[in-house]
Structure 1
């Protein structure tokens, strides 16, 4: 008889040893063991425990299975930030199916395209969005039926094929669904990012990638001894839509750590501030426009915002907005990532002694892009993929490697190869890196203004314009110029009842140019300072500079 020996460089493994695949279901193990009585609430109206949550996840899986959902199926979700969404985050991928988080803010035609491209055959849809689905029903090639999610139990009248109402289907099911093990590289989630050209691009993540992103980001957030951190006693409320990059992956972290979770539904400033007070929320994340809305509403109605830690991402955190948040008691700091990066790639955490150095230094550090989180290789490179000097001045593109970056765009091989040219994920973000590893984004490659032989950062000009008290927000774009190639054009929204003219703006920027903070080429002419009622935003709250360039070219 021939005996097979284990090579010396391999581990001896018992035949009965459990391989422990990195699956989404494993994120529930610890919280169910130590935090089974922890609370999840939807708007303060519905409340249940983590133990109840696990039972409802089993019931939802049984309900979906009864409608023909199997491993390999795709289930789309169109809802606000509800307990239903959180249950879907777990039940759908734990079945071996894919959750497709539909962006409810894009056009009906784009929604139809994404539903078809993802081959979604079942849709969980909030009753508010039924008219959108009815308007495109003839274009949907794979959708078999919909499950209506409604806070008011009665089913609305609709011409769609309805499987039933979410709560009625779930509550009627047993909770003993057996979530089997499978390959950790199985696709768990898909969503779509709207780029500057062409159709939306599908971004996919596997179970392994979601688990590793959860572990890496949680490790970073929990590491500091004080400030810019997350801990088990925090009360978590997402203010980044759950359809957008899985709410930055934060709900998975909150569940893994067993935090109290407050799901706010729609984002209405007064309702969010009410929940912050009544549920004692301590940790959130959002884009700058939402933060500004919260600050304005809080100042108007004298809300206390102290004790609230908040990550700001999606677009740059301006020093003016950062200072305003700090003055109202929010421990605010920047995070960096994109749909393709999991998304968290860097966080602007720092040692407590930075705050003791004064407000200016605290604001500067909080607004930086930050340092990479564990397992993220972040480089700033030139056009030949050489690292630029880490001197805080040399500019290059951020490129990344990490075990949880998307490997490519769904059904778009050419775009996927461009994303991963040279074996690194290309972010298209221009940045500098300091000697101690902090990164500061200067601009997007497509948004940098090339004028007078110099590169001008639109983000930097916007931050300086926003220093003016009368300014609500601003956007700076490059427009063609026969002499200089491009020149900056500033679009400014004023605060209610405030007054300011273009000469004031130009004088303010010229003062910064005289102090050598910016180049004189960065200062727009008076006729290129425009006051507008509103600045268009993308579906996830970013300033839509593509649309602005088209409008003002």
Structure 2
């Protein structure tokens, strides 16, 4: 190890730990009168917000919560969730953000595996929770979360209702300092096989991620997504990587924050208009839902800036959103990365390029943000050149990457093979540093010895005017090993088949942008494409559905 020079600190010097409580104190200092808004139900100032967090800390302490305990939350995106994102870790406890869209058995597994001791449950999930209660092995007490006007429900082992308990709690709490490497949050990420895996982050990691994200969204001129005068509304579930970490950024900067509860496209449009929302983030599916909402028809969303992540940003969706005034910017990350890794920042060279070329780069995964190292690695652990052509697995290093999987060290070792975090994504990196995700390793289609990117095909096919959304997977083929199979949803009144795909993709083949071997010969038109719990294309379920469609002789599949 390198021998460096370390000088002694003064005897009374304070070595300030990087703790989540420091993020909370900044916002109220800057904009104490700014509002936290929950649907049409509640709004209050940052001064009240800080007071409510202290009240919640007192309620949790009276429940028996101690440092090191795991406190779980089952709720939609709300002011309550935001308060828990601060109060729970500020007590030294661990916040478990439960993915309420998992199956009941998966939720049960995650709660027992995380060893949840206390659970805050939205009344909408009271029945779900009651069905799990007898099999929960560590839970001691629950706390009911209810919106105004909701019917009273009975919750197993409940200490009472959230707002009533906060109203009677003391408005001050002396939050202690502790080791910044203490675990602050945990949640579970699902894969194609096996049980969900527990990801966790420390106070130090979350603070550093917050600072990096704030610098990217607020300081890079080519992005300039979010400043102190913006109004923030998350459209990514708070149970999914802390809503991508933006609530911490928004609170640190003192932004007005708008929480929409359960996602309803009509409500989202209404909140955008009423609260003058200017900045959000979501997966492509949510953008499609918003653009398709009745309230969005003919609406000019000028001034609304959205970060798009979770899956590739199709060019057709970028164009459709821009036509209604929404500026989309692609970014990349994953559950294990907290999540921000890269963003589509245009350098000086690209800012002088044509608009079409700029868009080409705006929909890529982008350039690694400050403090992130990205590289390409082959199956033998050797690094590959960054020439925009060589493909390899994207591997990462950054101060906020999860260091392991909860109680699954063998999987953690796989994640961190060769000392780099393995993403499972096949990518290229060009000489300007732009990452382009080509596919998931498990989703790359191998046909006749050629590698075909399902993501590239999905993007090109979605540009057809009849296509609303496209998903591509490889299916077994006796001659070629695999062939691309397309599943599409269409705009109302449109038709589409395998011949339409061939004609649509022909110019891209002629331009050398697509191999002729990549042109799909089978297509299924469906009313809905399977999605994961966070709105991504669910390739595992798509493959199963395609097998069922192929086996059902009554279903027409268009085949060349």
Interval containing the TM-score (normalised by the shorter chain): over 0.9
Equivalent-residue separation in structure 1 for 2:224 and 2:131 (angstroms): 45
Following superposition, the deviation at residue 45 of structure 1 comes to 3.2
Mark the CA change 1:111 to 1:355 in structure 2 (over 3 Å): closer, same or farther: same
Following superposition, the deviation at residue 417 of structure 1 comes to 0.6
Choose which of 283, 299, 305 in structure 1 pairs with 2:279: 283
Equivalent-residue separation in structure 2 for 1:387 and 1:436 (angstroms): 18
Following superposition, the deviation at residue 159 of structure 1 comes to 5.8
In structure 2, the residue matched to 1:65 is 61
CA RMSD of aligned residues (A): 1.7
Following superposition, the deviation at residue 302 of structure 1 comes to 2.2
Q: Is 1:259 the counterpart of 2:255 in the alignment?
A: yes
In structure 2, the residue matched to 1:545 is 539
Q: Is 1:535 the counterpart of 2:529 in the alignment?
A: yes
Q: Is 1:90 the counterpart of 2:90 in the alignment?
A: no
In structure 2, the residue matched to 1:215 is 211
Choose which of 323, 326, 335 in structure 2 pairs with 1:327: 323
Is contact 1:44-1:262 (8 Å) kept?
Answer: no
Following superposition, the deviation at residue 545 of structure 1 comes to 0.2
Q: Is 1:15 the counterpart of 2:11 in the alignment?
A: yes
The number of aligned residues is 545
Equivalent-residue separation in structure 2 for 1:9 and 1:184 (angstroms): 23
Equivalent-residue separation in structure 1 for 2:514 and 2:316 (angstroms): 17
Q: Is 1:440 the counterpart of 2:427 in the alignment?
A: no
Describe the superposition over 1:405-453 as per-residue Cα deviations: whole angstroms up to 9, x where unpaired: 0011111111111001111100011111111111111100000000111
Following superposition, the deviation at residue 164 of structure 1 comes to 0.4
Mark the CA change 1:201 to 1:152 in structure 2 (over 3 Å): closer, same or farther: same
Equivalent-residue separation in structure 2 for 1:299 and 1:174 (angstroms): 43
Following superposition, the deviation at residue 328 of structure 1 comes to 1.4
Equivalent-residue separation in structure 1 for 2:419 and 2:452 (angstroms): 29
Following superposition, the deviation at residue 299 of structure 1 comes to 7.7
In structure 2, the residue matched to 1:108 is 104
In structure 1, the residue matched to 2:378 is 382
TM-score (norm 2): 0.94
In structure 2, the residue matched to 1:406 is 402
Is contact 1:430-1:443 (8 Å) kept?
Answer: yes
- SS of alignment partner, residue 442 of structure 2: coil
Q: Is 1:149 the counterpart of 2:145 in the alignment?
A: yes
Equivalent-residue separation in structure 1 for 2:236 and 2:371 (angstroms): 24
Equivalent-residue separation in structure 2 for 1:383 and 1:108 (angstroms): 37
Is contact 1:298-1:304 (8 Å) kept?
Answer: no
Following superposition, the deviation at residue 157 of structure 1 comes to 3.5
Is contact 2:372-2:396 (8 Å) kept?
Answer: yes
Equivalent-residue separation in structure 2 for 1:154 and 1:277 (angstroms): 25
Is contact 2:496-2:525 (8 Å) kept?
Answer: no
Equivalent-residue separation in structure 1 for 2:123 and 2:412 (angstroms): 35
Q: Is 1:517 the counterpart of 2:513 in the alignment?
A: yes
Equivalent-residue separation in structure 2 for 1:534 and 1:209 (angstroms): 38
Equivalent-residue separation in structure 2 for 1:346 and 1:68 (angstroms): 40
Mark the CA change 1:270 to 1:96 in structure 2 (over 3 Å): closer, same or farther: same
Mapping of residues 44-443 of structure 1, within 5 Å: 44-152=40-148, 156-158=152-154, 160-225=156-221, 227-297=223-293, 301-351=297-347, 354=350, 357-443=353-439
- SS of alignment partner, residue 242 of structure 1: coil
In structure 2, runs of 5+ residues without a counterpart are: 548-560
Is contact 1:282-1:307 (8 Å) kept?
Answer: yes
Describe the superposition over 1:301-357 as per-residue Cα deviations: whole angstroms up to 9, x where unpaired: 322210011100000000110111112111211010000001000011214884664
Following superposition, the deviation at residue 384 of structure 1 comes to 2.8
Following superposition, the deviation at residue 109 of structure 1 comes to 0.7
- SS of alignment partner, residue 410 of structure 1: coil
Following superposition, the deviation at residue 8 of structure 1 comes to 9.7
Q: Is 1:493 the counterpart of 2:493 in the alignment?
A: no
- SS of alignment partner, residue 426 of structure 2: strand
Describe the superposition over 1:468-510 as per-residue Cα deviations: whole angstroms up to 9, x where unpaired: 1111101000011111111111111111221222211122123
Is contact 2:144-2:155 (8 Å) kept?
Answer: no
Equivalent-residue separation in structure 2 for 1:388 and 1:229 (angstroms): 33
Is contact 1:399-1:427 (8 Å) kept?
Answer: yes
Equivalent-residue separation in structure 2 for 1:13 and 1:300 (angstroms): 59
In structure 1, the residue matched to 2:474 is 478
Is contact 2:291-2:297 (8 Å) kept?
Answer: no
In structure 1, runs of 5+ residues without a counterpart are: 1-6
